Structure 1
Amino acid sequence: MLIAQITDIHLGFEPDNPGEANRQRLDLVLAELTGGRNRPDLMLATGDLTDRGDADSYARVAEALRACPFPVYPCLGNHDDRDLFARYFPQVPTPSGFAQYCIALEGLRIIVLDTLETGRHGGGFCEVRSAWLKARLAEQRDTPTVIVMHHPPLDVGIAWMDPGPDQPWIARFTDAIAGHRQIRAIWCGHLHRPITASWKGITVTICPATAAELSLDLNPIDPDQPDQRPMVNADPPGYALHRWNQGLVSHFDAVQEHVVLATFDESLQPLVRQMVDERSA
C-alpha cells in the first residue's frame, strides 16, 4: 500500500489570486501523484491547508483535492480555521468539536489528530483530545498504528520553529501514547522540510511543504537581534510517499526536472537480473 502525504499548502497566501504561486505548486504535486509512476492508494493532507483560514481559500483547496482519483484525508494546522474546515470537509468527524478520526486500512490503522490551538503558531492538545486518543489506542492494541498530526512533538534544531521540550500539550500527548507499542510512526507537517527523528522510541517523519520550504539553519536565534539569516526559500514543492508492506518505509521527493543519467535498457538488464536473482540465492 502506498500512502502519499502533502502538507502546508497555504492556499490564499496571495489573497484574491486564484492563480497564486501556492496553487501552482499544489497543482504540480497533485499532477505528479495522479499521473506519475508512484500513484498512491490514498493521500493525507496534514494541515495548513490555507494561509489565512478564509472561506474562499478553503473552497479552492477543497476543489483541488476533490479532483484526486484516490481518497484524501485532511487534518488541521495552525493556519487553519476549525469551523470553515468543517464546512468544506464535512466528511471529517468532529468528536467534541475537534477534527480527529481513524482510518482503517488493510493491516494498518491511521489516527488523525487535531493539534490546532487558535491564536498560537505552535501546537495544542487538550485533555479532551488526549482522552479521545487514549480511548482509540486502547481499542486495537495489536493493530499497527500511525499517528498523523500537523505539529511535530519534538525539537528538531530549527530554533525559531521548535516548540521547546516543556510544552504542556506535548506532555499530554506523550502521556496519551505511553505504553502503546502498536504505534509504528508519527507523520507530521508544519516545518516545511523533510525530516526524520527518533522520539520516545517512535520514528517521527516530517513532510516537506507544497508551499515554500524553510531554510536549513541549525544555529540558535535571538528574537531581539535580526541576523539576516535565510528563513524561507523557493525550493521545489515536495511530498512524501509512505510504503506499508507489514512495515513502513518513507520516501521524499520534489516536483522538479530530474536529469536522467540511465534508464532500464538492454545495457542495464544484466545488472538488474543479477540483483533480482541474488534475493533468492
Structure 2
Amino acid sequence: MTTILHITDTHIVPEGALVSGRLDTADALERLVARINSIRDQIGAVDAVLVSGDLSDDGSAESYKRFKRLVAPLGLPIHVIPGNHDGRATLRAAFAEQFAPTGPLNWVRSIGDLHLIGLDTLVEGQGGGRLAPESLSFLSDALSQAEGAPVLLALHHQPFLCGIGFMDAIGLSNKNALSEIVAGYQGPLRLLCGHIHSTMISDVGGHIAISCPSPCSSFAFDCRPDAPRGYMHQEDGCLLHRWDGGFQTIRIGPVAGAGPFPFDDTP
C-alpha cells in the first residue's frame, strides 16, 4: 500500500495579513493539519504529502516559511509544485532540496509503488497556466521511464473544462498537448490538480483526472454565463490517494461530524 496525502491552494500570507481582507488561510490550514493528525490511526500510514500549488497567496519568502511551519506537525515528506499565486524563484529557494537550480519546477519521485510526477504550469504574472515545451518533453521522458508502473501526475491548473466560467478562462491553455501525451501511457495513471478549489472528476486522455478542494475557500459550481466571479467563505479539506493494486481516492473533510452512532436495527 502506498498512500499520498494531497493538499492544495492553501494561499498562505505573511503573519498578520488576511487574503482579500477576509480569509485567515493560516488558521484554516492549521485546523486541517490538526484534523489529519487526529485521524492518523484511522487512515493508516501515509508516505508523503503532495501540495499542488498556490502554497502562498503572494509568493513571498515569508509566506513559504509560514507554510512550512504550519505543515511541520504532519512529520511527512512534502513535495510541492507551483500555482499561479506562487513565485518560482521564492518557491525554489524555500524548497531548494526539491528542485534543479534553473528551469521549470518539474520533478519525479519514486514513492513506494508509485511514480509521482510534478509539473510546473506557472506563467508568472498570469492567472492561467501552460506547460512549456521543456515540461512536455519532461513528462514524455518521465512516462517512458515509468514503464507502465502506476503514476500520479500532478499539476496546478485543471487540465479539463470545469464549467465555472471565470476559472475555465484561467485553466491550462494547452490541455490537448497534455492529453495527447498521457493518452499514450498504457499503465495506471491518475492526473491530480488544484486551482478550482473544489473536487471534480473528469477524463483526460483516457485517464481519470481529480481536482482537490482547498482548506481555505471554495468556488461555487455555477454554469450561468453571468455567474458572479468570486469565492465562497467555505472551508473544505483534502484528498488521500491510495494504491494497492488499484487507485482509490478519499476526501477528508475539514471537520469531523458527531458519531459514529450505532444503527437502529429494530424492524
Question: Displacement of 1:260 after TM fit?
Answer: 2.0
Alignment check: 8 A CA contact 1:107 1:246 kept: no
Q: Which structure 1 segments of 5+ residues have no match?
A: 222-226, 269-281
Match of 1:42 in 2: 48
Letter of the aligned partner of 1:59 in structure 2? Answer: K
Q: Report Cα offsets for 1:160-191 as digits up to 9, x if no partner.
A: 10148993x32332333341122521010000
Question: CA–CA distance in 1 between the matches of 2:102 and 2:119?
Answer: 13
Structure of higher CA gyration radius? 1
Correspondence 1:63 to 2:63: no
Output the TM-score relative to the length of structure 1.
Answer: 0.83
Q: Report the Cα distance in structure 2 between the residues aligned to 1:263 and 1:119, rounded to whole angstroms.
A: 53
How far apart, in 2, do the equivalents of 1:230 and 1:122 lie? Answer: 15
Q: How far did residue 253 of structure 1 move?
A: 2.6
Work out the CA distance in 2 between the residues paired with 1:220 and 1:188. 24
Aligned CA distance change for structure 1 residues 27 and 164 (closer, same or farther; 3 Å): closer
* Amino acid in the other structure paired with 1:77: G
> Aligned with 1:260: secondary structure?
coil
Distance 2:172 2:114 in 1: 31
For residue 202 of structure 2, the aligned residue among 197, 205, 212 is: 197
The equivalent of 1:22 in structure 2 is 25
2:108: which partner in 1? 102
Contact 1:159 1:220 in 2 (8 A): yes
CA distance in 2 between partners of 1:63 and 1:196 (Å) = 31
> Take 1:160 and 1:173, find their aligned partners in 2: how far apart are those partners?
22
Could you tell me which amino acid in structure 2 is paired with residue 3 of structure 1? I
Give the drift of 1:210: 1.4
Aligned residues between the structures: 257
CA–CA separation in structure 2 for the residues paired with 1:194 and 1:104: 26
Q: TM-score, normalised by structure 2?
A: 0.88
**Runs ≥4 residues deviating over 4 A:** 163-166
Matched, 1:161 2:167: yes
- For residues 165 and 73 of structure 1, the distance between their equivalents in structure 2, rounded to whole angstroms, comes to 22
Q: What CA distance in whole angstroms lies between the structure 2 residues aligned with 1:155 and 1:230?
A: 16
| Contact in 1 for aligned 2:179/2:204 (Cα 8 Å) | no
Deviation of the 1:111 alpha carbon: 0.6
In the other structure, the counterpart of 1:171 is: 176
- Counterpart amino acid of residue 86 in structure 1: R
Match of 2:193 in 1: 188
Q: Does the residue aligned with 2:160 lie in a helix, a strand or coil?
A: coil
1:230-258: CA deviation from partner (whole Å, max 9, x where unpaired): 73222233111112111111111321240
Q: Secondary structure at the match of 1:160?
A: helix
Partner AA of 2:129 in structure 1: G
The amino acid across from 2:33 in the alignment is L
Q: Does 1:249 align with 2:255?
A: no
Maintained 8 Å contact 1:236/1:256: no
Question: Greater shift after overlay, 78-87 or 54-63?
Answer: 54-63
**% same residue:** 25
Does 1:87 pair with 2:54?
A: no
Measure the CA separation in 2 of the matches of 1:175 and 1:21. Answer: 40
The alignment yields a C-alpha RMSD, in angstroms, of 2.4
Unaligned 5+ runs, structure 2: none
Q: How far apart are the structure 2 equivalents of 1:254 and 1:71?
A: 22
